[in-house]
Structure 1
Amino acid sequence: MIMKKYFSLFTLFFVFACCSQEKEINKKTSSKASPILLADPTIFFDNGIYYLYGTTTGETPLNGNGFMVYTSSDLKKWNGPSVAQNGLALKKGEAFGTQGFWAPQVLKYNNKFYMIYTADENIAIASSNSPLGPFVNESKAPMFGTGKQIDPFVFIDTDGKKYLYHVRLTNGNRIFAAELKEDLSGIKEETLKECISGILPWENTQNVSWPVTEGPTVLKHNGLYYMIYSANDFRNPDYAVGYATAKSPFGPWEKASDSPIISKKNVGINGAGHGDVFYDKNGKMKYVLHTHNSNSGVSPRKTGIIDIAFEGTKIKADDKTFILLEE
């Protein structure tokens, strides 16, 4: 009887221990970090918080319905998408666009937040009182009435003039610039000028008839203008990032001889490119970008960050700093 009692107690203890261990394993499994799957990403920093937006490429209910937003205070732990509108900072139906929500940029101007983005292969701008959104375009109208334009980037110069850099689908993906109207509602048509097209070997490694240069980011350093851009089709393993310099916002642009500065050689994953420059809370310059999902598959694309810095008149990337972002 005593042996049976001890045996029963031992059995209960063993079952309890196994259950506890199973719960712990399940807990660890369920809390495992997942990669963030945003292409064409951008990071906006405001009041100690980093806001991450991009093109949704994963098979999720939010795919194609607008732009998700993730937040972080340290660039390591990311939260979201879990804010209003089911995680969407911009939601289809509240702004221009029915499909193809690509390549957003967020900026603050006159105490308001603006998101300029691509939808239906055209460019539109929406506004909000918060970086979390909702970003709304009440007119639901694009900036341009004709043609196909993608990948917008707004640059505000030190003299206050504003410029829209973007890609026009004209015998290839070509990067153009134009001065923006003061209210950001459109461009001054007479200022439109082509900046860059894909004519160098690294920009068209597959020798296609439709060369691609896209994803421009423009910044100014020591009086010199820098355009950071990506080249090749995004599905090409050689998709990569280079830069060009100019003495004016309209060029002429001189492509850097050391391009590409970010590629599969830096990050160890194919398809590295199409991102945006941002500065962390310590003033360190970084570039957020996407890569292929793996070296054997393109989508859904992953999001990563790498440190970049000016060295004289050149821009260099620090290979050792590259990380993929996780939620």
Structure 2
Amino acid sequence: MKPCVCLILLLVSGLAVAQTTYCNPIDLDYRYNFEQTNEGISYRSGADPVIIRHQNAYYLFATIQGGYWHSTDMLNWRFVTPSMWPMEDMCAPAVESVNDTLYLFQSTFEQRPILMSTAPETGKLQFYNRWLPRLPKDIGPWDPALFHDKDTNKWYMYWGSSNVYPLFGAELDKSRNLTYADRNAATVAKPMFWLDPWVHGWERFGPNHADLVKPFTEGAWMTKHNGTYYLQYGAPGTEYNVYANGTYTSKSPLGPWDYAPYNPIAYHPGGYATGCGHGNTFQDEWGNYWNTGTTWIGLVWGMERRMVMHPAGFDKTDQLYADTRFGDWPHKMPTSKWDTQNGPKGDDTFMGWMLLNYKKPVTSSSTLDTLRAAFAVDENPRTFWATRNKPGETLTVDLGSEQTVRAAQVNYVDHKNTIFKTDASVYTQFKLLGSVDGKTWRPLADLTDTTRWGKRDRACAYVALPKAEKARYVRYEHVYTAGPYLAINGFRIFGNGTGKAPVTPAGLLAKRQKDDRNADLSWQPVPGALGYNVRWGIAPDKLYQTYQFWADDPVGRPGKPFELRALNRGVPYFFAVEAFNETGVSGLSDVVAAK
């Protein structure tokens, strides 16, 4: 991918602040969900994203948000409250842009309408049709995707969310207001394909694909590229670190389908924002591809989630991939077309700003019960620090030495929250302070400055500093959030430490197990390495997959085998590993084969 340097104006409340980078999870004013069965506790959440470019702008739709977001740069998203909405809030909506019209359809097992808008930035929606004919019981369409084939001017819908049924597809009739082309609703749903976890290791359920529960296929999406149809899907389930996107290909929009041996196309099982399944693939204004997905929080409630987006593309053999290497660390936003023909090159989008405060000493001004400050810096979204919500509360991290600080991300938790309606009282404000000695403090960022930052809710607040700052200590100083408690499950500081990047790992060995969906990898430990990226693919020059973990993580400590359980039976693979620390990333090890 081609390096880019950009100056994008982040427009907030009509005022501008320079912002050129982003960090997953996406920095949005996620809306509140409410679970009656969860003792009245509410929580911010967003899942199943669809981002569409329409009329020189971007629109982001997601599950149970009461509206959608509008952006001109993919950095700043403005929430749009629509003029009308369906009978119930939308789950996993389908969106398609054709000419001057944006089409919108919700997940349903009933009869529901397709909506349309020629001015979605205003929120004005209207009925395109009143409903699609009802399908047989339990068939859906749930998790739908609308697809207009520009080459043939034909319309299709794909859907499915089940561990019993396959993904389905059907042609729609534009002359009948996008109702089914086959007027017999009982036969219109044509099976596309089923999951096959006995052959596809990454489709197995559970943490690191270690559960025997029958997996779920969901989140259909269609992309057409160079005359080939890529029918994408999410699996094996939203509530695990291995939630990913895969694809089948065909020369026909309704199949027959061929499984892509390089699956999954988007996979991010390690790091803070684990999982990236159930999203969509879209192109930005430069023609670059992106893949969106869902990352699981599951802390306040099982369906508490956030959303991510990763650079994507088609290589010279038309293999579809998403670049998830350091996928939840700061990345550049492009201002030109990438070269994706040779696959992702990592540093072309990755800023090279490393995580500086993993498990570093941290103190807080106060603590609620046993929810101690250390939980805010352990890179685990399901542990958190909490205290009473009042101005002046602080988290202070000691980086151990003076380092170069470039950005920070603050991820909030809705601990025992009871907010249901998002209104003007729901917003986020804090200050970031830096110090070289822990005594004299200077401002790094001030989100109370509404002339620069506006006033909005930011559950995953990402702040890139205007310039590099030297600091040993970094402090979060609380000003305001809604709710009775202040709770943070990720206070993440990015930049570069002093010293050298680690040396390249040596002695990599890779061996497929008897069950060749699994492979064991080992290598010599690298002194000073904080973590490793295992990278693999179906050819030595196609190492598109990444599993990131910390050196102290029991999942993959060097010196004992790291078990990778995401492989496809009968497919030869190639592996390499790289080490990283707070300064940078090592070179890539020798590539080894495991057939």
**Contact 1:232-1:239 within 8 A present in 2 as well:** yes
Provide the C-alpha distance between the structure 2 equivalents of 1:265 and 1:280, rounded to a whole number of angstroms.
26
Provide the C-alpha distance between the structure 2 equivalents of 1:215 and 1:118, rounded to a whole number of angstroms.
10
Distance 1:138 1:305, change over 3 A: closer
Compare the two structures and name the one with the higher helix fraction: 1
The equivalent of 2:157 in structure 1 is: 164
The answer as to 2:279 corresponding to 1:275 is: yes
SS in 2 for 1:202: helix
The answer as to 2:76 corresponding to 1:77 is: yes
Deviations 1:274-306 (A, max 9, x none): 111111111100012221127997542111110
Distance 1:254 1:195, change over 3 A: same
The equivalent of 1:28 in structure 2 is: none
**Contact 2:54-2:97 within 8 A present in 1 as well:** no
SS in 1 for 2:60: strand
Letter in 2 for 1:196: F
Q: Percent identity?
A: 27
**Contact 2:53-2:97 within 8 A present in 1 as well:** no
The answer as to 2:46 corresponding to 1:38 is: yes
The equivalent of 2:305 in structure 1 is: 301
The equivalent of 2:104 in structure 1 is: 115
1:55 aligned residue (63, 67, 81): 63
Letter in 1 for 2:116: S
The answer as to 2:203 corresponding to 1:194 is: no
Provide the C-alpha distance between the structure 1 equivalents of 2:284 and 2:128, rounded to a whole number of angstroms.
33
Deviations 1:85-107 (A, max 9, x none): xx24652xxx3x335x2111222
1:176 aligned residue (168, 173, 195): 168
The Cα shift of 1:140 comes to 5.2
Provide the C-alpha distance between the structure 2 equivalents of 1:154 and 1:98, rounded to a whole number of angstroms.
20
Distance 1:175 1:255, change over 3 A: same
Provide the C-alpha distance between the structure 1 equivalents of 2:261 and 2:313, rounded to a whole number of angstroms.
17
Provide the C-alpha distance between the structure 1 equivalents of 2:100 and 2:70, rounded to a whole number of angstroms.
20
1:135 aligned residue (125, 144, 149): 125
Letter in 1 for 2:69: Y
Q: TM-score, normalised by structure 2?
A: 0.42
After superposition, the CA RMSD in angstroms is 3.0
Provide the C-alpha distance between the structure 2 equivalents of 1:46 and 1:123, rounded to a whole number of angstroms.
24
The Cα shift of 1:207 comes to 2.7
SS in 2 for 1:286: strand
Letter in 1 for 2:157: L
Residues 176-255 of structure 1: pairs in structure 2 closer than 5 A: 176-183=168-175, 184-189=177-182, 192-200=189-197, 201-205=201-205, 206-209=211-214, 211-255=215-259
Provide the C-alpha distance between the structure 2 equivalents of 1:280 and 1:321, rounded to a whole number of angstroms.
21
Deviations 1:161-196 (A, max 9, x none): 111111165x62421111111144321235542112
Residues 81-100 of structure 1: pairs in structure 2 closer than 5 A: 81=79, 83=80, 87-88=81-82, 90-91=84-85, 95=86, 97-98=87-88
> In terms of mean alpha carbon deviation, does 313-322 or 221-230 score higher?
313-322
Q: Which blocks of at least 5 consecutive residues in structure 2 are unaligned?
A: 1-26, 31-44, 206-210, 330-459, 463-595
The answer as to 2:125 corresponding to 1:125 is: no
Distance 1:106 1:222, change over 3 A: same
> In terms of mean alpha carbon deviation, does 149-158 or 260-269 score higher?
260-269
SS in 2 for 1:52: strand
Distance 1:119 1:72, change over 3 A: same
The equivalent of 2:23 in structure 1 is: none
Deviations 1:17-50 (A, max 9, x none): xxxxxxxxxxxxxxxx666442111112123321
**Contact 1:35-1:302 within 8 A present in 2 as well:** no
Distance 1:249 1:177, change over 3 A: same
SS in 2 for 1:243: strand
The Cα shift of 1:247 comes to 1.7
Provide the C-alpha distance between the structure 2 equivalents of 1:89 and 1:307, rounded to a whole number of angstroms.
33
Q: Which blocks of at least 5 consecutive residues in structure 1 are unaligned?
A: 1-32, 57-62
The Cα shift of 1:69 comes to 1.2
Provide the C-alpha distance between the structure 2 equivalents of 1:89 and 1:236, rounded to a whole number of angstroms.
36
The equivalent of 2:136 in structure 1 is: 146
Provide the C-alpha distance between the structure 1 equivalents of 2:271 and 2:220, rounded to a whole number of angstroms.
20
Distance 1:53 1:185, change over 3 A: same
